[in-house]
Amino acid sequence: MSATSRLSPIIAPSLLAADFGRLREEVAAVERGGAHWLHLDVMDGHFVPNISFGALVLKALRPHTQLAFDVHLMIAPADPYLADFAKAGADHVSVHVEAGPHLHRSLQTIRDLGLKAGVAINPATPAESVRHVLDLVDIINVMTVNPGFGGQSFLDSQLSKIAELRRMITETGREIRIETDGGIDPASAPRALNAGADVLIAGSAIFGKPDYAAAIAALRASG
């Protein structure tokens, strides 16, 4: 994918870096600022060493925004909660390859709920781990930090994985988005996009800035 032919990337602010005392206003501000999706990081203190929020927070925000809810489940097990997230207003749900033994079943369940199905991959997990479920996947979330916390540095070691996944996707002929999640800012974003990502998830680089619209524009321009 050359830099010249590339379409402008999807920008998905990660709510994890927002002011939790003002969630509704924070979501409205990124929506006004030009975000395409809202990325929601659900953490259970078990699969990852941190706890964030669950389906109730999605449900509370759902009436207040048109943004697609891109839900990243860092929970194990995930299957018992998939219907709850669908009911709460998720549009896309991603489960981790590492979160359970039955990834294929989880992805089928997400599709049966009428949602876009995503799979997230930790930094140490190879691209090959998703090859045999690509027929069920709409989104691949390549973790470019260890999951659990915002504000970490982008892992350059993941660029070759993004490129490998892009080649695998091209072979399938299916339209599958590649998200890069963690440490994305205007310096790291072009590297991820050049490797083949087309969705930029960013927490600190948007909610940590005084002007969200300018921060989103800077990320979009980096593509």
Q: Does 71 bind ligand DX5 (CB under 6 A)?
A: no
- Which ranges of the chain would DSSP assign to H, the alpha helix? 23-32, 55-61, 82-88, 103-112, 159-172, 189-195, 204-207, 212-221
- Select the residue interacting with ligand DX5 from 182, 195, 196, 198 (CB under 6 A): 182
Q: Does 181 bind Zn ion (CB under 5 A)?
A: yes
- Select the residue interacting with ligand DX5 from 26, 70, 181, 198 (CB under 6 A): 181
Distances (CA, A) of 45 to 25, 148, 176: 27, 9, 29
Q: What's the closest the beta carbon of residue 3 comes to ligand DX5, in angstroms? A: 23
- Which ranges of 103-158 would DSSP assign to H, the alpha helix? 103-112
Cα gap 215→220, rounded to integer Å? 9
Q: Does 191 bind ligand DX5 (CB under 6 A)?
A: no
Please say whether the beta carbons of 1 and 170 come within 8 A: no
Taking the least distance from each CB to ligand DX5, the nearer of 76 and 108 is 76
Q: Does 204 bind ligand DX5 (CB under 6 A)?
A: yes
Please say whether the beta carbons of 90 and 56 come within 8 A: no
Catalytic site includes residue 181: yes
Query: Which of Zn ion, ligand DX5, none binds 203 (CB below 5-8 Å, type-dependent)?
Result: ligand DX5
- Count, residues near ligand DX5 per rule CB under 6 A: 21
What amino acid positions are annotated as catalytic residues? 41, 181
